[in-house]
Structure 1
Amino acid sequence: MQLSIAQSRQVENVLLEWASANFNETQDSTFKKLTFEGAVYGDSLDAIPVFLHRAKSSDPGFVNQFQVSNTRFERVQPQERQLLIDAGFSQTQLQLSNQKEINRRELYSVVTFYPFRFNAALNDFEKLVSFDLISTQVPLPKNALSAMHQYPVASVLATGTWFRICVTETGIHQLTFADLTELGVNTQGLQRENIRIFGNGGGMLPEANNVSRITDLKENPIFIPGAQTGAFTSTDVVLFYGESPMQWNFNANTKAFEHQVHLYATESCYFLTIDNGTGKRITQQPNLSAPANQTATTFHDYAVHHRDMVNLINSGREWYGELFDVTLSRNFVFRFDDLVLNQPGRIRSNVAARSSNMSSFAITVGSARFNQSISQIFPAHVTGAFANPSEVAMPFNPTDGNQVEVNLTYNRTASGAQGWLNFLEVNVVRQLRFRGPQMGFRNTAVIGAGNITQFVISHANAGLTVWDVTDRFNVRVQETLLEGSELRFRQSTNQLRNFIVFDGSTFLRPIRRGRVPNQNLHGMRVADLFIVVHETLKPEAKRLAEFRSQNDNLSVAVVTTTQIYNEFSSGMPDPAAIRNFMKMFYDRATTTAELPRYLLLFGNGTLDNRDILRFGGNLIPTFQSQNSLQFDRTFMTDDFFGLLDDSEGINADGTLDIGIGRFPVRTISEARDVVNKKIRYQQRSPASINSPNTFVPSNLVETFADWRNRVLFVADDQDFNRHFIDSEVLANRMENIFPNFNVQKLYLDAFQQVTMPGGARFPEVNIALNRAINQGALLINYIGHGGFAGLAHERILTFTDIASWNNMHNLPVFMTATCEFSSFDHPNPSDVTAGVRIFLKPTGGAIALFTTTRLAWSGPNMVLNRNFMDVAFERNSQGENFRLGDIIRHAKVRSSGQLENWRIRNFVLLGDPSMLMAYPRNQVRVESITDTIRAFQNVTVSGYITD
């Protein structure tokens, strides 16, 4: 793609350099794709290239709008025509998408479009060959770039004495004098008015950055029966309203309550303090004096059966429950007292099935029966869907006044077909009759502008109390009137109101978690590098931070996940809390120099974010895709933590604003080994980090040696030479643009393939690759097939090879454009991938890997790889090489722009994003060399070393 710019007219003349259709492959799937120089690919039409142009705004108050003119088209070739037909392409004109992109506070205008059209006059497709790209500046809406969030200058946890308590159910909880004592509270002299509880309730944080959220911790009102002041004695109790991690939200469209499971936490946490001044109390809410125009003698209730037991493809956030295989029919009973039989209920069923034929689930509720059809999958396509989901919601009429019984039967239509239940969710209408000891209620039928509703609770007595818990931060005691056995009150219902009625006989009891040290992340200053670490690994994180500060002159801050959760997600694990922590510094920055630069996640994470399988090891949570059933559409990414602009976040959509890396370490021993490698990598003496008694092999390559000038390209075979061609393109670019580096090539097709009992092998490639790694290279770039256990179908790199390496002082950076070579999020700690083994190896391996965690496609891989190699050897405006985090960030931004391309999100950095590769600091200039050389002649070359 060639662009010539006419500055005065703001016109760019673009020539698209089309190439022959080439192959895009992953694992077992190969298909041709259309391409031109500089093409990128979206996610909806895999084979059709996208033109993308990004322009930085010269004025932060304006954005560019793009148009095209002077277009020149050519008819497509037969092969191109077929690819467009197969892809379902139907556009009759160019359809430009203009978007703005904010990257590290710099505004960019981005235009994308498919450079094809269907010409009805020709009854054929045409491809765009050249055009003028015209840009016009238009003003941005006011405050379009301003941060939406304000942050306190200090956390409430900064002063005073604090304790953490947690709840698993929604309702009224009680803390007794004995509970406080066991929690560690000094109850001697404890004053009632000084007891306070803070917390933000249950539920996950929003993924989207533009959704308002609570910063720090917010106070919750509490109720202490008796006097408002004075000593808290052994007979006193504290009552407060607490929420479960699972939330129920009213869907105005479906007129039903729908649940949302917390993906990361099984407890909601609250914080109790005893010496931070007078606390907030639950006060009385009077009855409205105005007459009621609505009456509520019933209420809407709900329940769900949702058991997370298995992740079907070991990827994505959705887990499934009961298996329908040997057992094809199951009954589920939902118990509700006082059902209103003449009011319909609603059942929502979410299931999945894996079958080569269309199959279905039959749902029977009372006399109602529904069929839930599920489309077939194609088992031979391991890159496609493992199973297909289905969700239906249907009304039903209850037939039993005290329960709803549901039968779910899987109608298997093919041998080996299987089904899974995700959840069954039930909405019903119940009589508003008290069933103790506490009962939540709400009524959606009485909601309306100006409505005042008379609530009538039957089966009541004088010992009942009603709390209005609509606003959890302003819970009120509702004034009521007992008339016989009916408890009445009037309240506005212009919006949904939630209440709890209770008799005080028993309450829910919170879990006592203990003392919370003072902390104040909100009062921190910005740092170049933030290291987020699990508490168990903190000593090694601090050691690395000290080294980076002294060796690289970077400002470094070490914070624990617990500290972040305490201030940003009310004590509950949530990746959005870590993202919001970084966003706080991003939002506070008034100049680009004040922006955070790097985030290191110091600890392993697994796809089992709630430890369902009880393997442990989820030290820092992972962000999993919404898609959890399609191998080629699912992803795990650390990018989410670095999407900091207000328009970003949902399903990890956006462009990286900071460089992010992860150390997938589980133990303090692994952490120590990795930190040793980082320090050793930047020290001149091979044994400088080792004790005097450490054995140093005689064949050890010096840390500062010629290996730092070598770049090795390794290419897989087959696939129509796709990997060889891509490697050649990168190697040639390297030799032409960065001639100071020595390019080496290791291509499988250059070696003899040998047939062995286990399949085809390249034993000479294994030997050559092991030798190259032991000799050392600055960077090793692999393109081709790969997986959990190594590289290539012919196993040119295996666990055994990795164990044999002895390169502890000449560690390369790996770029692996392959599939799931370094997925680190397997719950079982014994499932360690080849890439993670290379990273963790204490006596060698790699210093860092830019690598994949899921399936990847050769087309997007090549785009990202090319940009990675360019940035890796470019220099910034100060003439310095980029650090690893900057390389990854720039490469990803250049590769996707605003395209929602999950395939490059699967690339992660295993390593320190603030680290600088071991680039040679100086260059060699040759002044003279003999132009004619005879055999066995000694030759003298004269030159000098320069910077």
Structure 2
Amino acid sequence: MKKLLLPLFSLSLCSLYGQQIIRQQLDWQDTPQTFLFAGESIQQWGFAGAKFDDAAPSHPLWVYRMPVSGPGELEVEVLEVAWENYDKAVAPEDEQLGSQLRITTQIVREPEGYFAKLSGVPISKTSSGYRRARAFVLQTRLLSRGEQRGDPINSVLSDGEVYQIAIAQSGVYRLSYRFLKEELGISKLDNIDPRNLRLYGNEGGIVPYDINAPRPVDLQENPIYIEGEEDGSFDGSDYILFYAEGPNKWRYNADTDQYMLEENIYSQRNYYFLKLDSEAGQRLSEQSSLNTTTYTTSSYDGLLRYGEDRFNALHEIETTATGTGQHWYTDYFKFAREKDYSAEFDLSGFLPQEPIYVQAVMALRAATGSRFYLDINGQTLSSERASSVMIGGPNEIRQELAVNTKISGTVTVPTTELSLVLRYPHPGGEAQSEAWLDYIQLRPRMALRYPGQGQMYFRDSRTFTQLSTTFNVSGISDAVQIWDITNPTQARRQQLLRNGTTASFGVSTQDQLRTFVAFRVDDALTEAEAVGKIEPQNLHSLESHDMLIVYHPDLAEAALRLAEHRRQHDGLRVATASTTQVYNEYASGRAEPSAIRDFAAEIFSRDGSLRYLLLVGDG
């Protein structure tokens, strides 16, 4: 192991050609502290300045704060780490640990200026056990966001004829002549040059809550395929094909090897914008196949999930009955204490010789510590122990009302006949208890075989560490296409080497999870939902202002009258925008509150003169 040359003091910070070097030495305790948490014994190894939280009570957090020149993203590279092995007790949160030191960053604006916060758990888990960092060296570099979100630009919605469409779920969509003319309302469709059609929109998921997280500056142009556009007219048999994401988005964490569904709690639709332009639009391109690769796969990660937003825990709890909060649950357990979910999962095409990864989350509410269980084909998985909560009493509403706990494990299932039962027994005979199921998620290994119809999505986490990979897909006819949708706003048609009913292709895969969709062009592909023509708008072009008024369209008259009063009476520079306009430009049409925040932040970034943000609505 390399020896780190560190100064006598515990931390130093120096600047080198716009970069900063952080040298950190950790003074670990000689022995751990042990205490009871949620009825279980927890062991804590700490160091000077370590932080702890209830989500991962055995993991000490290193936190460092430093000033930076402005907004942006802080890039961190771990240059060196001095590890030492140690005897750490196993804890449920250890599944979050990787084999290397991971540092996260956040940039915030405070009254004194901009500051960067760096944090990380200086523990790693390897095949031989646990290690802790005695010292490490980091190199940071500030990636300025000023060029992206400072100067005014013209939005892509500022000119031309623009028509809005809604997308309920991710997939390849077909827009037919009939849809465009009769439902979307493009009356002059017969007289346009289809080569000048452009499609704009951003990927699904939620607009980042973190103001410093990367996001598109404006709506992005998406590539489309138009059948029959070569003749310069849009005829009755012509159509548009494109890939679009719905409001929800699957994300993959390579460090923990886990998939999570990011559910959009604000909108049940994502939106795209079809623009009749005067110049040629972006078209779907073909991605070449690599001739030789370092890895070959004929299977992929299946993602099966059961979860619906049906119950609000704060509504069910009698002392609150408010029905508020961002989190909704699938099922409620109070009188019935078990439920069979076998019928919710279809294992057709899975490989029985491979283990199935299982995740489930419930919120438990009991006066004593409790767990829930999954019985799967004769095997039982137990959740982490949820701590007790106060039930009854005048201070109940001020305490935590329910505790989320999780099952994470693997099972083997010999056939496609799945048996899956969830149990939440009365904890220790305690009658006062109830629970809410968030979701159950299975990740079986699936054969890479197209089922003959519909759209098949596939990705393989085993390729993440491979330099390049060949995918062998069976069940492929001449009518089937495969698109690379790793970047959902830049889909590409994959070049295929066909051999009978098997198609093969090679792509680079190192440090990226490639995602693909296979479909039949002659299938009954889903059509989008028509919203209609929108008026030109250009919030991105606004200069600096003292006041922003964002209003619901129903209250436009009152908001505009108030804006004029502030201009005349107070001499303020006032800009107005409807919520619809803000959502269109800053959230791809989705009604997300973070879009209003991003709009205000962009105007503030002009010169810092924005002082007031007024929201006009009916609460």
Q: Which amino acid aligns with 1:327?
A: A
Contact 2:108 2:212 (8 Å CA) reproduced? no
Rate the CA distance shift 1:542–1:324 in 2: closer, same or farther, 3 A: same
Pairing of 1:177-196 with structure 2 (within 5 A): 177-181=177-181, 182-186=183-187, 187-196=189-198
Query: Would you say the 8 A contact 2:297–2:472 is kept in 1?
Result: yes
Q: 1:305 and 2:306 equivalent?
A: yes
Which residue does the alignment assign to 1:600? Answer: 614
Using the TM superposition, give the Cα deviation of residue 445 of structure 1 relative to its aligned residue in structure 2, in angstroms: 1.1
The CA deviation at 1:200 is 0.5
How do residues 837-916 of structure 1 correspond to structure 2 at under 5 angstroms?
none
Q: Note if contact 2:108-2:114 (Cα within 8 Å) is conserved in structure 1.
A: yes
CA spacing shift, 1:334–1:598, aligned 2, 3 Å: same
Q: Which has the higher Rg, Structure 1 or Structure 2?
A: 1
1:378 equivalenced with 2:390 (yes/no): yes
Q: Measure the CA separation in 2 of the matches of 1:476 and 1:294.
A: 22
Matched, 1:442 2:459: yes
Deviation for aligned residue 1:359: 2.5
| Residue 598 of structure 1, CA deviation | 0.3
Matched residue, 1:204 = 206
SS of residue paired to 2:381: strand
In 2 relative to 1, CA 239–547 (structure 1 residues): closer, same or farther, beyond 3 Å?
A: same
Indicate the residue corresponding to 2:374 in structure 1: 363
Q: Aligned pair in 2 of structure 1 residues 419, 103: CA closer, same or farther (>3 Å)?
A: closer
Q: Distance in 2 between matches of 1:60 and 1:478?
A: 43
Query: Contact 1:353–1:388 (CA<8 Å) still a contact in 2?
Result: yes
**1:393 alignment partner, SS class:** strand
Contact 1:339–1:398 under 8 Å retained in 2? no
Displacement of 1:145 in angstroms is 8.6
- 1:728-765 C-alpha deviation (Å, 9 max, x unpaired): xxxxxxxxxxxxxxxxxxxxxxxxxxxxxxxxxxxxxx
**Residues 300-379 of structure 1 mapped to structure 2, 5 A cutoff:** 300-313=301-314, 314-332=323-341, 333-372=344-383, 373-379=385-391
Deviation, structure 1 residue 142: 8.3
C-alpha distance in 2, partners of 1:255/1:450?
18
The match for 1:259 among 231, 253, 261 is 261
Which residue is equivalent to 2:414?
A: 399
Which residue of 2 is the match for residue 653 of structure 1?
none
- Counterparts of 2:229 and 2:192 in 1: how far apart (Å)? 14
Q: 1:101 to 1:273 in 2, by over 3 A?
A: closer
CA contact (8 A) 1:152 1:216 kept: no
Within the candidate set 242, 245, 263, 1:243 is matched to: 245
Q: Measured at CA, do residues 461 and 159 of structure 1 come closer, stay the same or move farther in structure 2, by a change above 3 Å?
A: same
Change (3 A) 1:146 1:493: closer
Count of matched residue pairs: 477
1:233 counterpart residue number: 235
Identity of matched residues, %: 29
Q: What residue identity is the alignment partner of 1:391?
A: K
Q: How does 1:663-742 map to 2 (within 5 A)?
A: 665-666=618-619
2:134 corresponding residue in structure 1: none
2:493 paired residue among 473, 477, 502: 477
- Name the Cα RMSD after superposition: 2.7
TM (norm. structure 1) is 0.48
Structure 1 pair 426–542 and aligned structure 2 pair: CA distance change class (3 A): same
Is contact 2:246-2:269 (8 Å) kept?
yes
One-letter identity of the residue aligned with 1:107: G
| Equivalent residue runs for 1:540-939 within 5 Å | 540-589=558-607, 592=608, 595-603=609-617, 665-666=618-619
Deviations 1:348-382 (A, max 9, x none): 11101221123321211223211223222111331
Paired with 1:251 and 1:146, the residues of 2 have a C-alpha distance of 25
**Aligned to 1:411, what secondary structure does the other structure show?**
coil
Answer whether contact 1:346 1:428 (CA < 8 A) is retained: yes
Equivalent-residue separation in structure 1 for 2:115 and 2:520 (angstroms) = 61
Partner Cα separation in structure 1 for residue 228 and residue 534 of structure 2? 29
Counterpart for residue 512 of structure 1 = 530
Aligned positions of 1:152-171 closer than 5 A:
153-171=153-171
**CA 1:425–1:518: 2 relative to 1, 3 Å:** same
Maintained 8 Å contact 1:148/1:210: no
Q: 1:461 aligns with which of 477, 480, 502?
A: 477
Name 2:11's counterpart in structure 1.
none
Q: Which one has more relative contact order, counting CA pairs under 8 Å at least 6 apart? A: 2
Shift of 1:183: 0.4
AA in 2 matched with 1:407: V
Q: Is the 8 A contact 1:222 1:280 kept in 2?
A: yes
Letter in 1 for 2:220: K
Q: Could you say which residue in structure 2 is the equivalent of 1:904?
A: none
Contact 2:353 2:414 in 1 (8 A): no
- Equivalent residue letter for 2:303: Y
Query: Residue type of the partner of 1:224?
Result: I
Q: Any idea what the Cα deviations from partners look like across 1:54-91, whole Å, max 9, x if unmatched?
A: xxx9x989xxxxxxxxxxxxxxxxxxxxxxxxxxxxxx
Does the CA-based 8 Å contact 2:194-2:232 persist in structure 1? yes
Quote the residue 1:294 is aligned against. Answer: 295
Contact 2:203 2:489 in 1 (8 A): no
Aligned twin of 1:387: 402
Quote the offset at 1:293 in angstroms: 2.4
Aligned partners of 1:352 and 1:420 also within 8 Å: yes
Report the 3-state secondary structure (helix = DSSP H, G, I; strand = E; otherwise coil) of the residue aligned with 2:329: coil
Aligned to 1:523: 541
2:520 aligned partner: 503
Q: Name the SS for the 2:556 alignment partner.
A: helix
Kindly provide the amino acid, as one letter, of the partner of residue 197 in structure 1: L
For residues 109 and 285 of structure 2, the distance between their equivalents in structure 1, rounded to whole angstroms, comes to 46
In the superposition, relative to structure 1, how do residues 537 and 227 fare at CA in structure 2: closer, same or farther (>3 Å)? closer
Q: Does 1:172 align with 2:172?
A: yes
How far residue 469 of structure 1 moved from its aligned partner, in angstroms, is: 1.1
Bigger strand fraction: 2
The CA deviation at 1:43 is: 13
Matching residue's letter, 1:155: S
* Deviation of 1:449 (Å): 4.9
Deviation at 1:545, TM superposition (A): 1.4
The CA deviation at 1:571 is 0.7
- Deviation of 1:316 after TM superposition, in Å, equals 3.3
Q: 1:268 to 1:583 in 2, by over 3 A?
A: same
Structure 2 Cα separation of the partners of residues 109 and 509 of structure 1: 47
Q: Give matches, 1:529-540, under 5 Å.
A: 529-540=547-558
Which residue does the alignment assign to 1:107?
113
